[in-house]
Amino acid sequence: MPHIAPSKFMDVRFPKVGEGADSGKVVSVLVKVGDTISAGQTILELESEKAIAPIPSPAGGKITAISVKEGDTIQVGAVLLSLEGADGAAAPAAKAPAPKAASAPRA
């Protein structure tokens, strides 16, 4: 029996988007099951008390399930969708590298 490497799966959850923004109403879902998305791609739009905000995916991969629909009111931490082959499932969001200290001039 051949060895098959396990796929990476990831649930994408509603992140805290700002102070006091603990919930919101789904205005539109911009992806569907079977779509392949990239990290940073907007997956839905959410309306809070202050504005409508795009919600990006923290990782790329193939969408295997969508857990919300237009009109749903969701809380921070709610599962939005599930990805297979997630390219960032275990890694935190990438940060810009720290600037290198200037080296002393050589004489």
Give the C-alpha separation, 15 to 57, whole Å.
Answer: 10
Amino acid, single-letter form, for residue 104: A
| SS3 label, residue 13 | strand
Q: Express each pLDDT in 61-85 by its tens digit.
A: 999 999 999 999 999 999 999 999 8
Q: How many CB atoms lie within 10 A of CB 81?
A: 24
Q: What percent of the chain has pLDDT over 70?
A: 73
Q: Structure pTM?
A: 0.70
Give the C-alpha separation, 15 to 26, whole Å.
Answer: 13
